[in-house]
């Protein structure tokens, strides 16, 4: 049974992930404004030639440097490697395809490596701004080679949060709309970035104070979870319990806000209550 990689091996894997993320990022950038998107099946779930070309470049690099490690990639699914391996690369070759297709400059390439289900390497590259967010387990987190840290906001009323809405939002009452309204009411604002990987990277570098979302895939968040953890933040399930990155539901904060945000998500009033008197809305700890 493989053991957790030592420091030198973690550093090597981080460099491999970086090479792959930068290759994907250069390809995504080269396609910007030049291509049409097509729907993958679910309404609004888009894919472009850039997603596919970026993924091909990423896979080529990962397979060359780490032939034994299995890969889960958004456009290709599960690929190769030793099926009994505790390692798994989780790849999103273009996170934020809707933004990309509209030339809204907020998208990324996200490469995470999991060991026994938890991320140990994470790289998020922003093709538009050229920013690079990286982390390895126990080795800290950086933005453009400089150490990064989460923010210090310790009250919801002073925080700026981010969330997102999954592609099944029209088909389920568990669509995050009520949560979005309630947290917008309790905080200085809630952004909807449109790239889960950048949302997490921005919590990690302190531009945002917290993030929650449901309906995510492993490739959306594997890298970003580690960025937040290694930047001193906290990542969990909504109720504060141990994060299962494959559960699709994540709560990530600077740590100071974690309990308040978790409590708020547990006490969200029904959406129809928003027409009622605000004095009747649930109060939570700030």
Interacting residues with Ca ion (CB under 5 A):
74, 92, 94-95, 220
Q: Is the Cβ–Cβ distance between 199 and 193 less than 8 Å?
A: yes
Range in contact with ligand IPD (rule: CB under 6 A) among 12-20, 158-166, 181-189, 260-268: 158-166
Q: How far is the CB of 283 from ligand IPD (least distance, A)?
A: 29
Q: Which of 5, 194, 210, 232 binds ligand IPD (CB under 6 A)?
A: 194
Count Cβ neighbours within 10 Å for each residue of 192-220 and write b for 16 or more, e otherwise.
Answer: ebbbbbbbbbbbbbbbbbbbbbbbbbbbb
Stretch that binds ligand IPD, among 20-28, 173-181, 212-220, 274-282 (CB under 6 A): 212-220
CB of 154 to ligand IPD, least distance (A): 26
Which residue, 96 or 232, is less far from ligand IPD as judged by CB? 96
Bridge partners, 251 (sequence order): 212, 236
Tell me the C-alpha distance between 238 and 174, whole Å. 13
Using alpha carbons, select from 113, 126, 124 the residue that is nearest to residue 12.
Answer: 113
Q: Which is nearer to ligand IPD, 221 or 284 (CB)?
A: 221
What is the closest distance, in whole angstroms, from the C-beta atom of residue 197 to Ca ion in the complex? Answer: 7
Exposure on the CB side of residue 59, measured as CA atoms within 13 A: 20
Side-chain-side CA neighbours of residue 164 (13 Å): 28
Is residue 55 a contact point for ligand IPD (CB under 6 A)?
no
Do 114 and 94 meet the contact criterion of CB atoms below 8 Å apart?
Answer: no
The only residue of 80, 215, 240, 269 in contact with ligand IPD, by rule CB under 6 A: 215
Q: Where in 164-183 is the site for ligand IPD (CB under 6 A)?
A: 164-166
- Compute the Cα dihedral for 186, 191, 195, 198 and give only its sign: negative
Residues that bind ligand IPD (CB under 6 A): 92, 95-98, 164-166, 194-196, 213, 215-216, 220
């Amino acid at each position: 049974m493989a053991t957790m990689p030592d420091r030198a091996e973690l550093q090597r894997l981080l460099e491999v992930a970086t090479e792959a993320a930068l290759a994907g990022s250069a390809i995504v950038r080269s396609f910007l404004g030049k291509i049409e998107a097509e729907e993958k099946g679910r309404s609004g779930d888009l894919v472009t030639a850039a997603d596919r070309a970026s993924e091909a470049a990423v896979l080529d690099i990962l397979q060359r440097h780490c032939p034994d490690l299995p890969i889960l990639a958004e456009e290709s699914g599960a690929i190769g490697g030793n099926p009994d391996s505790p390692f798994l690369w989780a790849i999103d070759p273009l996170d934020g395809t809707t933004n990309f297709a509209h030339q809204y400059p907020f998208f990324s390439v996200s490469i995470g490596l999991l060991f026994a289900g938890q991320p140990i390497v994470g790289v998020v590259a922003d093709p538009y701004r050229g920013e690079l967010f990286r982390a390895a387990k126990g080795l800290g987190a950086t933005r453009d080679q400089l150490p990064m840290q989460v923010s210090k906001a310790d009250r919801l009323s002073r925080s700026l949060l981010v969330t997102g809405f999954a592609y099944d939002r029209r088909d389920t009452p568990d669509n995050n709309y009520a949560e979005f309204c309630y947290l917008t009411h309790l905080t200085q604002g809630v952004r909807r970035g449109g790239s889960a990987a950048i949302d997490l990277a921005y919590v990690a570098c302190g531009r945002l104070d917290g993030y929650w979302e449901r309906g995510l895939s492993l490739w959306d968040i594997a890298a970003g979870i580690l960025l937040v953890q290694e930047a001193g933040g906290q990542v969990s399930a909504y109720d504060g319990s141990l994060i299962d990155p494959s559960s699709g539901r994540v709560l990530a904060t600077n740590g100071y806000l974690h309990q308040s945000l978790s409590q708020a998500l547990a006490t969200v009033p029904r959406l129809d209550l928003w027409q009622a008197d605000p004095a009747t809305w649930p109060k939570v700890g700030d």
